[in-house]
Amino acid sequence: MTTPNRKTVLSLGAHPDDAEFFCAGTLALLRKKGWQIHIATMTPGDCGTVQYSREEISKIRKAEAAKAASMLDGQYHCLECDDIFIMYDRPTLVKAIEVLRKVRPAIVFTTSPLDYMVDHEMASKIAQTACFACGVVNIETAGAEPFEPIPHLYYMDAAEHKDKFGAEIKPSMIVDVTGVMDIKEKMLSCHESQRHWLLTHHGMDEYVNMMKVSDEKRGREIGCSFGEGFREHLGHAYPQDNILKAELGDLVHVKASAK
| Domain presence at residue 259 | no
Phi, psi for 131 (deg, rounded to 5): -60, -45
Q: How many residues does the chain have?
A: 259
Q: What is the CATH number for 187? A: 3.40.50.10320
| Domain presence at residue 189 | yes
pLDDT of 257? 54
pLDDT digits (tens, 9 = 90+) for 132-147: 999 999 999 988 999 9
Q: What is the pTM of this model?
A: 0.94
d(CA 183, CA 151): 26
| Domain presence at residue 150 | yes
pLDDT of 258? 46
How would you class 13 by CB atoms within 10 Å of its CB: exposed for 0-12, middle for 13-18, buried for 19 or more? buried
98: three-class secondary structure by DSSP: helix
pLDDT of 76? 98
pLDDT of 184? 97
Please say whether the beta carbons of 99 and 126 come within 8 A: no
> Which residues are CB-neighbours of 127 under 8 A, at least 6 positions away?
12, 96, 108, 110, 111, 153
| Domain presence at residue 3 | no
- For residue 56, give its domain range: 8-254
Phi, psi for 85 (deg, rounded to 5): -115, 30
Question: How many domains, the chain?
Answer: 1
pLDDT of 95? 97
Residues of the chain falling short of pLDDT 70: 1, 48-50, 195-205, 256-259
| Domain presence at residue 1 | no
Query: In three state form, how does the secondary structure of 188-248 look?
Result: HHCCCHHHHHHHHHHCCCCHHHHHHHHHHHHHHHHCCCCEEEEEECCCCCCCCCCHHHHHH
